[in-house]
Amino acid sequence: MADHMIRAMAWGGRVRVAACDTTATVEELRRIHDPSPVSTAAVGRIATGALLITSMLEKATGREPMVTIEIDGDGPAGKLLATASPKGWVRAMVANPLATADPKVNGKLNVAGVVGTSGELVVTRDPGIGEPYRGVVPLVSGEIAQDLARYLLDSEQIPSAVLLGVHVVPAGRVGHAGGLMVQLLPGVSDEQAEELSSRVRGLGAVTSQMAAGAGPMAWIESLFAKDLTVLGEIPVRFYCGCSERRVETALMLLGADEVRSMIEDNPDGPTLLSCGFCRKEYSVSTADLRRVLRSVAAGGADDGPN
């Protein structure tokens, strides 16, 4: 089945659930960035997590709502970044895609080993109207799922269980990828919370469920039986959205010194710039760089992207 995400409410509206299959999307990320297997797992987890967080956003009449997750840990992978939309698109990148770490004792990929266990996780939720909300929490594990659960509890005050998984087959391809987020809303008793926590633990790894043929809807039903209301299902895909105009905006945000340095390093041009999310290259002439430099000097960087 094609990549998709399901949103649902359970227990009379007291539990919010989102679950997604991101296998093809994470495989596309692997194809673009050509990362090591463990870095594939890391970038796949942050991309899947960003999609799950978008389920908290409502439809907006203004700009497109988005969620951006940034992890800056002390591991060799460096910074990880993912941006997702409630429409189902996501893009993600890792600063050092070739980073590796020794496997865990059980043989599983050591995501915390490349992400690190010290650093920050930053989530920016742009609802599409008003000002974006930005929450910052310290990393607690580097495994990403636990770090997102900590963010949801500390910054959003929503007790949540988050499961993220990426299985990379020996050939290097992504065999399965997906995630589940269960959030307790007001009205859930302590006993009910403990019961649900036990059910989530019993579910096991989402990639194991997928290997057995069970997808997102099956996970949700196994947790809540028929006591749930499905709110919708959307397709999930990789999408970058970079363009020459966005490249120009990025140059303006770099500032005059950086743009001037580009001109000095290659006065005859053109200067080649690569999108960190999709690796598409853009050729920028020296004349265009000088025009950007004049715009920055005139204060044009305050305009931002449309």
Domains of the chain: 4-238 (3.55.30.10), 244-302 (3.90.1280.10)
Query: Quick check: 16 pLDDT over 70?
Result: yes
For the question of whether the overall pTM of this predicted structure is more than 0.85, the answer is yes
Kindly report which listed range (194-198, 266-270, 278-282) carries the lowest average pLDDT score.
266-270
**What pLDDT, in 10s, does the model give residues 70-123?**
999 999 999 999 999 999 999 999 999 999 999 887 889 999 999 999 999 999
**Gap between the Cα atoms of 162 and 56, Å rounded:** 14
Q: Maximum distance among all alpha carbons in the chain? A: 70
Helices (DSSP H) in the chain: which residue ranges?
Answer: 23-33, 37-54, 111-115, 145-154, 190-203, 206-211, 216-224, 244-254, 256-265, 286-297
Identity of residue 128: G
For residue 165, the Cα-to-chain-centroid distance in whole angstroms is 13
- Over residues 152-157, the mean pLDDT reads 96
Tokens for 26? 């994470």
**In the predicted model, is pLDDT for residue 305 greater than 60?**
no
Any idea which of 6-15, 97-106, 176-185, 295-304 has the lowest mean pLDDT? 295-304
Quickly list H helices, 77-235.
111-115, 145-154, 190-203, 206-211, 216-224
Torsion angle, alpha carbons of 46, 275, 89, 53, to 10? 30
Structure token digits, residue 214:
């069970």
Alpha-carbon gap, residue 210 to 250, rounded angstroms: 39
- Burial class from Cβ neighbours inside 10 Å (0-12, 13-18, 19+) for residue 43 reads buried
Helix, strand, or coil (residue 151):
helix
Q: Above pLDDT 70, what percent of the chain? A: 97
119-126 and 133-138 strand pairing: antiparallel
Question: Per this entry, what is the length of the chain?
Answer: 306
pLDDT single digits (tens) 211-263: 999 999 999 999 998 789 999 999 999 999 999 998 888 888 888 899 999 99
Please give the pLDDT value at position 71.
Answer: 98
Residues 175-199, mean pLDDT to the nearest whole number: 96
What's the CA dihedral at 42, 177, 238, 170 to 10 degrees?
A: 70
Cα angle, residue 247 at apex, residues 245 and 249 outer, rounded to 5°: 70
Q: What is the pLDDT of residue 226?
A: 79
